[in-house]
Amino acid sequence: MNCKMRKNIPILYIVVPCYNEQEVLPITSPLFQQKIVQLIGDGKIAEESRVLFVNDGSKDTTWELIQSLSAANVYIEGINLSRNRGHQNAVLAGLMEAKDLCDITISIDCDGQDDINAMDAMVDAYLDGCEVVYGVRSKRDTDTFFKRFTAEGFYKLLNWMGAEVVFNHADYRLVSSRVLEEFANFKEVNLFLRGMIPLVGFKSTAVYYERHERIAGESHYPLMKMLALAFDGITSLSVKPIRMITGLGASIAGLSMIGVIWAVIAHFTGHSVAGWASMISIVCFLGGIQLASLGIIGEYIGKIYMETKRRPRYIISERTAERADDGKGDGQGGK
């Protein structure tokens, strides 16, 4: 890499969204903390670095756990969202909370699936001058065939539909505060972070790691939720589906012209029979296409509706750390 080396040792915040993770947290939180201590020891990050857990309105004892972990350990902090807002909003809340306190953030799931040791290479890439470092899964051997198939199909579908995402990259990534400062101006409520961060630009690179199995508990992303996320990602990042409708409309109109010519010729040559079967098929086919197209356009209108409300994307109800300036829980990405 031909980027210039950085002079100062950066403060790192590891941002970890947690939803009903009481079985997983006691296992993974020491790992995050050890990672911070090791990186400080290696002289790569500053002593003020922290792990920031974001409790996404868990229904179990996750928040109590985070509070006790933070009371017992200087390297651990937590924020509590006022209710469950979903993975993407939870990550955003953590990133926006951290951006004014540190130089770099690394977001990672709390279930131990993403290899914590990839963080060393991520920080190295930052020290080499990169502002965004994507964690990319090199293998998915431990995922079931079904999960792997659906997950990889998900990335292909997204890219094909015009939402550019890094293949096999989820939300394990290093982002510098400089990028987050710019990202705070992306005010949309339909969040799809992995597709939005590349839009900010700046120098980026990827770090490869192997994905493990979930340490405990269950995935919150069953097939339906993953399909919903893919659909959300596509409609938030691209208008290709609407263009496809236009294309489809134009092709069907073209075909209809042939049909019209054929009908006119049949009429004048005296072959016009009452073909109700073909008529019914065409009517049903077109009716189906029209409804599906309306649905897709409706999805975009729904998105516009949600955006115009400009509701807060998250509300922070509690913090483990006392801060002088407490006016940042507006969910609008800080001021």
Q: Are 127 and 43 in contact (CB under 8 A)?
A: no
Distance CA 81, CA 76 (A): 17
Q: What are phi and psi of 259, to 5 degrees?
A: -60, -40
Q: Are 58 and 18 in contact (CB under 8 A)?
A: yes
Q: What are phi and psi of 314, to 5 degrees?
A: -165, 160
Distance CA 223, CA 296 (A): 20
Q: How many CB atoms lie within 10 A of CB 122?
A: 26
Of 35, 44, 50, 87, the one binding ligand UDP (CB under 6 A) is 87
Interface segment toward Mg ion; rule CB under 5 A; list 113-121, 178-186, 265-273, 296-304: 113-121
Of 110, 122, 166, 234, the one binding ligand UDP (CB under 6 A) is 110
The 88-107 contact track toward ligand UDP, x by CB under 6 A, reads --x-----------------
The answer to the question of residue 86 lying near ligand UDP (CB under 6 A) is yes
If we measure between CA atoms, which residue out of 43, 51, 50 comes closest to residue 9? Answer: 43
The answer to the question of residue 10 lying near ligand UDP (CB under 6 A) is no
Looking at beta carbons only, is 190 or 293 nearer to ligand UDP?
A: 190
For residue 53, list its beta bridge partners: 16, 78
Min CB(284)–ligand UDP separation in Å: 38
The answer to the question of residue 84 lying near ligand UDP (CB under 6 A) is yes
Of 140, 212, 220, 303, the one binding ligand UDP (CB under 6 A) is 220
Q: Which does 38 bind (CB under 5 to 8 A by kind): ligand UDP, Mg ion, none?
A: none
Q: Which does 45 bind (CB under 5 to 8 A by kind): Mg ion, ligand UDP, none?
A: none
Q: Are 314 and 95 in contact (CB under 8 A)?
A: no
Number of residues that bind ligand UDP (CB under 6 A): 16
Of 111, 115, 131, 232, the one binding ligand UDP (CB under 6 A) is 111
Q: Which does 331 bind (CB under 5 to 8 A by kind): Mg ion, ligand UDP, none?
A: none
Looking at beta carbons only, is 142 or 256 nearer to ligand UDP?
A: 142
Residues 11-40 that bind ligand UDP (CB under 6 A): 17-19, 21
Burial of 196 (0-12, 13-18, 19+ CB in 10 A): buried
Q: Are 124 and 194 in contact (CB under 8 A)?
A: no
Q: Are 313 and 187 in contact (CB under 8 A)?
A: no
Q: Is 328 helix (H, G, I), strand (E, B) or coil?
A: coil
Q: Which does 86 bind (CB under 5 to 8 A by kind): ligand UDP, Mg ion, none?
A: ligand UDP
Angle at which helices 240-268 and 276-309 cross, to 10°: 160
The answer to the question of residue 221 lying near ligand UDP (CB under 6 A) is yes
Min CB(317)–ligand UDP separation in Å: 15
Q: Which does 110 bind (CB under 5 to 8 A by kind): Mg ion, ligand UDP, none?
A: ligand UDP
Q: Are 77 and 33 in contact (CB under 8 A)?
A: no
Distance CA 185, CA 177 (A): 13
Of 103, 111, 171, 232, the one binding Mg ion (CB under 5 A) is 111
For residue 80, list its beta bridge partners: 55, 318
Binding region for ligand UDP (CB under 6 A): 17-19, 21, 56, 84, 86-87, 90, 109-111, 113, 219-221
Binding region for Mg ion (CB under 5 A): 109, 111, 113
